[in-house]
Amino acid sequence: MSTGAIGRSGTRTGARAAGATRAGTRAGAHGHGALTPWMFMAPYLLLFMIFVVIPAVYGLWISLHNWDQFLTDKPWVGLQNYVDLFTPGGAKATPFWNAMLATGIFTVLSVPLLVVLPLFVAMLLNKRFPGRTFFRAVVFAPYVLGVVVVGLLFRFILDPSVGVLNYVLGQLGLPADTPWTTAEPWVWVSLVGMTVWWTLGFNAIIYLAGLQDINRELYDAAAVDGAKRWARFRHVTLPGLRPVLVFVVTVTILASANVFGQAYITSQGAPAERTRTAIMFIAEEGFLDFQLGSAAAMSYILALFLMALSAGVFFFFRERGERS
Amino acid sequence: MGGLSRREFLAAGAATCAALWLPGCGSGGDADELTFWNGFTGGDAPTMLAILDGFHKEHPGTNVRMVSARWEDYYQKVPAAIAAGKGPDVGIMHVDQISINAAHRVLRPLDDVAQSLSLQQADFAPEVWQAGVYQGKRYGIPLDVHPLGLFWNKTVLSDAGLDADRAPADREAYESALDELKAKGVQGNWVSTFFFTGGLMFQSLLWQFGGDLTNEDGSRATWNSDAGVQAMEYLRGMIKKGYSPTNVAQDADNVAFKGGETAYIWQGAWGIADYGSTEGIEWGLAPLPQIGDKRAAWSNSHQFIIPQGISDAKLEQARALIDFVTNSPSWAEAGMVLARKSAREQEAFRKLPAAALAEEISYVRFPRSVAGLADVRESTLDLAIQQALSGRQPVRQALDDSVSRANELLADNREKFSV
């Protein structure tokens, strides 16, 4: 019904503007001119072509060469850049898969926290209590900081020898020599912790919007049926949040997999290359070591991983949706 | 800050760099202007500007316009700018960046410039002069050398009852000082696991024990030699013996030194400017102690470069500028040891703190002039140092692994740059 209304008004505008061409009126019988949707999408498609499609195809082309942007000779190497990445023990493969592993570890550790914690924060902030708006602002506040600010801030706090945290721990009589940024597993605690502190507010706000969308009558009905707190959460809140949950999980996974700034500034990939993430390694390879060919190949492998992961997330949530 | 690498700086705050760079963006320079690009953004910038004032007085016909960007930005943008025909007329590069830029064909060979200024090896020091040569051609004219030196915090030493006016010059004196400090509860010399300054210490010791980063022609990495193992074991020993905490993070050694938590630091000559502008610290500076079989110190060097495609008229002006600046003793006020002997011999230089490192000039060492070696080292040796010093890998194994990886990367580079 509503699509029809939009179609009619679209035709009317089109007819007025184009002086009612024959093609326009004929197509008008079906709802709109053949070109109309394309015209609406043109500005976006143009930008999408210039900034996504063309660079993506060009990147594929680059990945098939030994590409140094400052050399005129950029020899074709076929799939060699990809082969190098899958040669066990190779000089390219080892650091690349270490970087992928670092990204994987970070994602596995941070995503559950960033999906679950903000939900509880959002449920707290959804209650009525004095100062609620203030606390909502406080929770969201860190998110407005840039990654450089957050990174440097935590570097000052977490430095193992001269940082604030170890000093305070020492004053409290606790061990004061924890290597927060220079040794595993502490460095992961640091990176995940600072990321949760930084981005928790964003997910919490999304959840909050989702919670406010759930009809209160459903809770009342559940209460009438004798549902306790957990049952209300399990059977009303969670199903009500499902679309929001899909969004949060997908976006959080992608953001975590693209982690760069935190590790780059706070731990600088240390210890050794254990926290050097995929994006960090790709940037070094391409722009500092002038190996754009293999950097492009790495980007494609990372992109394939992320596409598969996102597809998996959608599939997972669709399954559950059908069952309930 | 003269010796920091690109990666080091990136971490310091990439966000501010773009703004600094903008004034220089897209300017090929006016016809009557000589554009001079460099990475002097700290206390070294005013020093260089003062020298340029002197140059303008002597050469009223030439108008030099200096544009500075942070080094890490500089090395990404300068090659691109030159390749696009929008580069400067003259610039500064660290000597370890010259080979890659020469291989990228953005630099003009300067043999004729050196000849017309009648500059030769004897006017500098063999190591410094040879470092600016790539594949038989000269691309850099040395301005300064900034070697690693031994800085000490006088307050910490005198509080511990040690002589605060003299530095230990050999292994025995150095270790006994560290032992005395340890007895007083001071970890005397922090060993960072990062390139700054752990990597610089390792390279200095490698050379002191008679090793080298690569073989003669730079085709193979050789830091897993016995000398390399000795150097790494020595650094690890400093941590084991308690002269240094474990897991020292980037810059923490420098912060600790300035904060009076430790007595010594092996720091580049840029420490002169850093500590000189730090309130409440009394420090001394001397050449590195001799730990190994001979004296040696890691060093870097600022060198003048001229991009490809400069006009004859501009070349004439650039030559005069290079001659004038390399001869100015006041550049040492920025904490640098002057490369040119004629500048070093002037009274104005001898009074400056940097003169304390002048004797190192005869034994400073640079990595060989191999395109891409600096990047290979960053992704192999620098990681091995972290592995070995943190004790996650045995010294020999960390070095061997990194060498075999480096050899593969060096071979790739050789193939790439051979055409």
pLDDT in tens, A264-320: 999 888 788 889 999 999 999 998 888 999 999 999 999 999 999 999 998 888 755
Q: Does residue B60 form part of some domain? A: yes
The CA distances from residue A305 to A312, A313, B56, in Å, are 11, 12, 59
- Residues B332 and B385 reside in one and the same domain: no
Shortest alpha-carbon distance between residue A236 and chain B (Å): 46
Q: Are residues B160 and B272 in the same domain?
A: yes
Q: Is residue B159 part of a domain?
A: yes
CA angle B197, B157, B2 (to 5 degrees): 30
Q: Are residue B281 and residue B222 in the same domain, yes or no?
A: yes
- Report the residue from B105, B261, B386 with minimal CB separation from A272: B386
- The tens digit of pLDDT for each residue in B79-111 reads 989 988 889 999 999 999 999 999 999 999 999
Residues B400 and B315 in one domain: no
Asked whether the predicted pLDDT for residue B146 surpasses 70, the reply is yes
- Between positions 169 and 198 of A, the ones with CB within 8 A of B are 177, 179, 181-183
CA distances for A72 relative to A57, A60, A67, A75, B98, angstroms = 21, 19, 9, 9, 19
Please write the tens of the pLDDT for every residue from A145-198.
Answer: 999 999 999 999 999 888 999 999 999 999 888 899 988 899 999 999 999 999
Where does a domain end: B341, B365, B389? B365
The larger pLDDT score, comparing residue B290 to residue A90, is at B290
Check B405 against A284: CB less than 8 A apart: no
Size of the A and B interface in Cβ pairs below 8 Å = 102
pLDDT-derived band at B249 (thresholds 50, 70, 90) equals: confident
Average pLDDT on B263-268 reads 96
pLDDT category at A20 given cuts 50, 70, 90 is: very low
Contact yes or no for B248 and A152 at CB 8 A: no
User: How would DSSP label each residue in B67-106?
Assistant: EE--HHHHHHHHHHHHHTT---SEEEEEHHHHHHHHHTT-
Lowest model confidence (mean pLDDT) among A69-73, A207-211, B143-147: A69-73
Residue of B nearest to A89 (CA): B405
Q: Does A137 touch chain B (CB under 8 A)?
A: no
Contact A71/B at CB under 8 A: yes
Task: Clarify whether residues B120 and B67 are in a common domain.
Answer: yes
Q: What is the 3-state secondary structure (H, E, C) of chain A?
A: CHHHHHHHHHHHHHHHHHCCCHHHHHHHCCCCCCCHHHHHHHHHHHHHHHHHHHHHHHHHHHCCECCCCCCCCCCECCCHHHHHHCCCCCCCHHHHHHHHHHHHHHHHHHHHHHHHHHHHHHHHHCCCCCCHHHHHHHHHHHHHCCHHHHHHHHHHHHCCCCCHHHHHHHHCCCCCCCCCCCCCCHHHHHHHHHHHHHHHHHHHHHHHHHHHHCCHHHHHHHHHCCCCHHHHHHHHHHHHHHHHHHHHHHHHHHHHHCCCHHHHHHHCCCCCCCCCCHHHHHHHHHHHCCCHHHHHHHHHHHHHHHHHHHHHHHHHHHHHHHHC
CB contact under 8 A, A146 and B15: yes
Q: Assess if residue B336 is contained within a domain.
A: yes
Q: How far is A203 from chain B (nearest CA, A)?
A: 26
Nearest chain A residue to B256 by CA: give it. Answer: A162
Nearest in space to B406 (alpha carbons), one of B383, B388, B386, B387: B383
- Considering only the beta carbons, identify the residue of A91, A160, A272 that sits closest to B249: A160
Bond preceding residue A185 cis, omega within 30 of 0: yes
Whether residue B222 is found in the same domain as residue B81: no
Do B321 and B224 share a structural domain? no
Residue B154 lies in a domain: yes
Of the candidates B148, B98, B135, the residue with the CA atom closest to the CA atom of residue B304: B98
- Chain A contact probe: residue of B416, B417, B419 with most A CBs at under 10 A: B416
Helix axes A186-213 and A93-125, enclosed angle (nearest 10):
40
Do B244 and B325 share a domain, yes or no? no
Chain B residues closer than 8 Å to A90 by CB: 408
Give the per-residue pLDDT at A11: 40
The arithmetic mean of pLDDT across residues B72-81, rounded, is 89
| Most confidently predicted of A4-18, A32-46, A207-221, B202-216 | B202-216
> Which pLDDT does position B69 carry in this prediction?
92
Q: What is the mean pLDDT of residues B236-252?
A: 93
Task: With 0.90 as the threshold, say if the pTM is over it.
Answer: no
Query: Which residue of A65, A70, A161, A264 is the best one to mutate when testing the B interface, meaning the one whose CB has the most B CBs within 10 A?
Result: A161
Interface check A284 vs B, CB under 8 A: yes
B49 and B177 assigned to the same domain: no
Listed residues B365, B386, B404: the one ending a domain: B365
**What's the CA gap between B339 and B145, in Å, rounded?**
6
Same domain? B269 vs B384? yes
Q: Which of A150, A290, A298 to mutate to test the interface with B (most CBs of B within 10 A)?
A: A290
Residue B350 predicted with pLDDT over 60? yes
pLDDT range class, residue A203, cuts 50, 70, 90: very high
The answer to whether residue B1 is domain-embedded is no
Closest CA to B283 of B312, B262, B304, B311: B262
In the structure encoding, which two tokens stand for residue B300, read together?
A: 């870097």
Q: Which of A90, A182, A273 sits opposite B247 (nearest CB)?
A: A182
Query: Cβ–Cβ contacts within 10 Å for residue B262, how many?
Result: 27
The CA angle B14-A69-B71, to the nearest 5 degrees, is 30
Pairwise CB contact (< 8 Å): B248 & A268? no
Looking at the complex, report in whole angstroms how far the Cα of residue B379 sits from the nearest Cα belonging to chain A.
9
Number of domains in chain B: 2
Compute the distance between CA of residue B201 and CA of residue B195 in angstroms, rounded to an integer. Answer: 9
Query: Is A160 in contact with B252 (Cβ distance < 8 A)?
Result: yes
Going by C-alpha positions, the residue among B165, B164, B188 that lies closest to residue B176 is B188
More confident residue, B157 or A18: B157
Token pair for B349: 């230089």
Q: Which domains does chain A have, with CATH numbers?
A: 81-323 (1.10.3720.10)
Q: Residue A271: is the preceding peptide bond cis (ω within 30°)?
A: yes
Domain membership of residue B115 (yes or no) is yes
Q: Say if residue B209 is in the same domain as residue B129.
A: no
| pLDDT number for residue A16 | 44
- In this predicted structure, the answer to whether residue B51 has a pLDDT above a threshold of 80 is yes
* pLDDT score of A287: 87
CB contact under 8 A, A271 and B386: yes
For chain B, what percent of residues have pLDDT higher than 90? 78
CATH number at residue B212: 3.40.190.10
Q: What is the DSSP letter of B290?
A: B
Q: What ipTM was predicted for this assembly?
A: 0.76
Q: Which residues in chain B have Cβ-Cβ distances shorter than 8 Å to A75? A: 419
Range of the domain at B200: 148-297+372-417
Q: Nearest CB to A162: which of B255, B384, B392? A: B255
Boundary of a domain, candidates B321, B337, B365: B365
The reply to whether B193 and B127 lie within a common domain is no
Contact B249 A148 (CB under 8 A): no
Which site among A152, A282, A288, A292 would you substitute to test the B interface, given the most B Cβ atoms closer than 10 Å to its Cβ? A288
Q: At a CB cut-off of 8 Å and minimum separation 6, what does A130 contact?
A: none
